[in-house]
Amino acid sequence: MSYFTPLAVVGLALAAAPGVWLLEQLVAGQRPAPGRALRDLRIMLGSPLQRPESCDSALFHLAPSLLVLASVVALATVPWAPGFRGIDLQAGALLFVAALAYVTPAMVMAGWGAGRPLAVLGGFRWVALMLAYAMPLAMVITSVAAPAGSLRPTDIVRVQHAVPMAVAQPLALALWLPAVTAVCFLPPFDLPQAGGELFGGVFAEYRGLDLALVALAQRVLLLAVSGMTAALFLAGWEWPLLPPAVWMGLKTAAVAWLLLWAGRRFPRVAVDRALSLAWRVANPLSMLAIVYAGLLTLLFYR
Amino acid sequence: MSDLATAIVFWPAVGLMLAAAVFVFITSSMARAGLLLLASLAIEGLVFLALGSRFLGFLQLLMMSGEMVIMVFFMVMFMPDPGGLMGMDMTHDKRRSATVAVAVTAALGLVAVLTDWPARVVGRGAPDVRAIGFEVMGRSMISFLFAGMTILLAMVGGVLLAKHGGRFGLPAAGDEQSGEHSPPEERS
């Protein structure tokens, strides 16, 4: 790993903010106004931090940094092109899931640290939701890793040379997309902050730099999961004619577009319904997906 | 990593890990105790990484985040004083537990120091690695499954026992409340 790699990943994380912002505006059907967005950002960064009325304000102020750290590590595991791949490890896909797992303690810290009932409720909702979606997420990673016989994302991209995993394992993709939307706390799974219901929930008390870090972390998360979806399911850079990085960028943008569009298209899922869906439908189906992946691997990939 | 780099990461990480573990028992806030335990175990994952065991390190990081957060969740749900604001003492039988703790630490330390650890590094694809894989997935599997089921039963049983009395225990003879009982200072 050269010194260039960490710099490139941090650069990519910083580029995620304007990139995803632009996509959000386009999905919303609004003409992007960068001037106004920059002014809003300056006001946000200029306003002082909120001091919560709880004894755990340290947890409250640590949570956004933990969110950013988790999202940047997740982003670093995404294989963007044959040459550029951040942290390319034997167990890269596992590191991706491990990084996403740290969004959960960050949410609990933010909710508990804010010391407001609705914030604590938002944090605990998130725990219940992530507990329910952790298994499908891990099972889907295992299912797509099985044909490659490796947890290295680069190997998983290479094995899709002939058939993308989205075609070979549509069930795994169907389980993966809602789970990663929930991980990014994007609508329709924005249960921890839940605009009209918890009045901002875990993030209601955040101001200034804290709020900017949360907003950045959410966009980096979206970029990371979109990139990983493109790599694990849409064959990453493995398509002809265009340069590899361009393919990867196009596919990532398409996945991010789909996730943002779904957030505008569907109403927020009620928390009991989301939990019931996860435990009664997604978890059993993820077992089915892994059996299917095993059969597929034995029949076609050996 | 070179030996020096490993040592530079290893010793401060171990110090932090132990410090976080000690603070788990000093704080009386359930949320802080759980999150400090998470910090301690996550740093242990980083220690695994520093020692070159990537899979184990990532697995430790992944498992501990979920498990410790669930523990925070349950501790806050069931403890009468989750925020540690009432100054309630969570420890009991101090002398005996301290004796047991010191004895166990000394015994484990002796085992660690006196064992004749192998100095040879096992490479990838070595027969030992294969043998461990077959052992874990074969004969030992039944004991793992049994242990898993036992832990699950213990968790369900623990929740049932705690739920029976509610957060503040079973009502005393003269109490009027039923169901979820109110905290002691609100009763009179």
User: DSSP secondary structure string, A155-223?
Assistant: HHHHTTSSS-HHHH-HHHHHHHHHHHHHHTT-TTS-TTT-HHHHTTGGGTT--HHHHHHHHHHHHHHHH
* Interatomic CA distance for residues A225 and A173, integer angstroms: 12
The H-assigned helical ranges of A239-282 are: 244-265, 271-277
Q: Is the per-residue pLDDT at B187 higher than 70?
A: no
Predicted confidence at residue A1, as pLDDT, reads: 47
Q: Which residues are CB-neighbours of A24 under 8 A, at least 6 positions away?
A: A260
Identify the three-state secondary structure at position A272. Answer: helix
pLDDT band at B188 (very low <50, low <70, confident <90, very high): very low
Q: Is the per-residue pLDDT at B37 higher than 70?
A: yes
Q: Is the per-residue pLDDT at B89 higher than 80?
A: no
Q: Is the per-residue pLDDT at B168 higher than 80?
A: no
Torsion angle in degrees (nearest 10) through CA of A130, A137, A290, B61: -90
Predicted confidence at residue B171, as pLDDT, reads: 66
Residue pair A72/A220 in contact (Cβ under 8 Å)? The answer is yes
Nearest to B31 among A104, A112, A130 (CB): A112
Q: Chain A interface, mutation test: which of B23, B59, B65, most A Cβ atoms within 10 Å?
A: B65
Helices H / strands E in chain A, number of each? 14, 0
Residues in chain A with CB shorter than 8 Å from the CB of B69 are 104-105, 108, 127
Q: In this predicted model, what pLDDT tens digit does every residue of A105-132 receive, in sequence order?
A: 999 999 888 888 888 888 888 888 888 8
DSSP annotation of A116 reads -
Q: Measure B123 CA to nearest chain A CA, in Å.
A: 15
Q: In this predicted model, what pLDDT tens digit does every residue of B58-72 receive, in sequence order?
A: 889 988 988 888 888
* Interatomic CA distance for residues A188 and A270, integer angstroms: 9
Nearest residue to A184 via CA among A141, A142, A224, A136: A224
* Interatomic CA distance for residues A163 and A238, integer angstroms: 10
Q: Measure A43 CA to nearest chain B CA, in Å.
A: 33
Q: In this predicted model, what pLDDT tens digit does every residue of A192-218 receive, in sequence order?
A: 777 667 777 788 888 888 888 998 999
Handedness of CA A218, A221, A227, A229 (dihedral sign): negative
Predicted confidence at residue A251, as pLDDT, reads: 93
Confirm whether pTM is higher than 0.95. no
Q: Measure A9 CA to nearest chain B CA, in Å.
A: 20
A131 at interface of B, judged by CB pairs closer than 8 A: yes
* Interatomic CA distance for residues A103 and A127, integer angstroms: 10
Q: What is the ipTM of this complex?
A: 0.83
Nearest to A95 among B58, B70, B83 (CB): B58
Residue pair A180/A227 in contact (Cβ under 8 Å)? The answer is no
Residues in chain A with CB shorter than 8 Å from the CB of B65 are 98, 101-102, 104-105
pLDDT band at B9 (very low <50, low <70, confident <90, very high): confident
Give the CB-side neighbour count of residue A120, counting CA atoms within 13 A: 15
Q: Measure B95 CA to nearest chain A CA, in Å.
A: 31
Q: Chain B interface, mutation test: which of A102, A103, A130, most B Cβ atoms within 10 Å?
A: A102
The reply to whether residue B55 touches residue A55, judged by beta carbons under 8 angstroms, is no
Predicted confidence at residue A43, as pLDDT, reads: 86
Residue pair A227/A252 in contact (Cβ under 8 Å)? The answer is yes
Residue pair A73/B49 in contact (Cβ under 8 Å)? The answer is no
Predicted confidence at residue A84, as pLDDT, reads: 65
Nearest to A56 among B32, B38, B54 (CB): B32
3-state secondary structure chain B: CCHHHHHHHHHHHHHHHHHHHHHHHHCCCHHHHHHHHHHHHHHHHHHHHHCCCHHHHHHHHHHHHHHHHHHHHHHHHHCCCCCCCCCCCCCCCHHHHHHHHHHHHHHHHHHHHHCCCCCCCCCCCCHHHHHHHHHHHCCCHHHHHHHHHHHHHHHHHHHHHHHHHCCCCCCCCCCCCCCCCCCHHHHC
Rounded mean pLDDT, B14-43: 91
Q: Is the per-residue pLDDT at B121 higher than 90?
A: no
> Residue holding tokens 């389980």?
A175
* Interatomic CA distance for residues A124 and A106, integer angstroms: 11
Residue pair A248/A172 in contact (Cβ under 8 Å)? The answer is no
> Residue holding tokens 């003879």?
B173
Predicted confidence at residue A116, as pLDDT, reads: 85
The reply to whether residue A94 touches residue B68, judged by beta carbons under 8 angstroms, is no
Q: How far is CA A188 from CA A132, A180, A265, A286, B167, in A?
A: 16, 12, 9, 21, 34
Rounded mean pLDDT, B161-183: 63
Predicted confidence at residue A124, as pLDDT, reads: 87
pLDDT in tens, chain A (302 residues): 455 677 788 888 888 888 888 888 888 888 888 888 888 888 888 888 878 777 788 889 999 999 999 999 999 888 888 766 567 677 888 889 999 999 999 999 998 888 888 888 888 888 888 888 888 998 999 999 999 988 888 889 988 888 899 999 999 999 999 999 999 988 888 877 776 677 777 888 888 888 889 989 999 999 999 999 999 999 888 887 888 888 888 999 999 999 999 988 888 888 889 899 999 999 999 999 999 999 999 998 87
Torsion angle in degrees (nearest 10) through CA of A114, A117, A259, A103: 50
What does residue A220 show for φ and ψ, rounded to 5 degrees? Answer: -65, -40
| b/e A59-87 (16+ beta carbons within 10 angstroms → b) | bbbbbbebbbebbbbbbbbbbbbeebbbb
Give the chain B residue nearest A103 (alpha carbons): B65
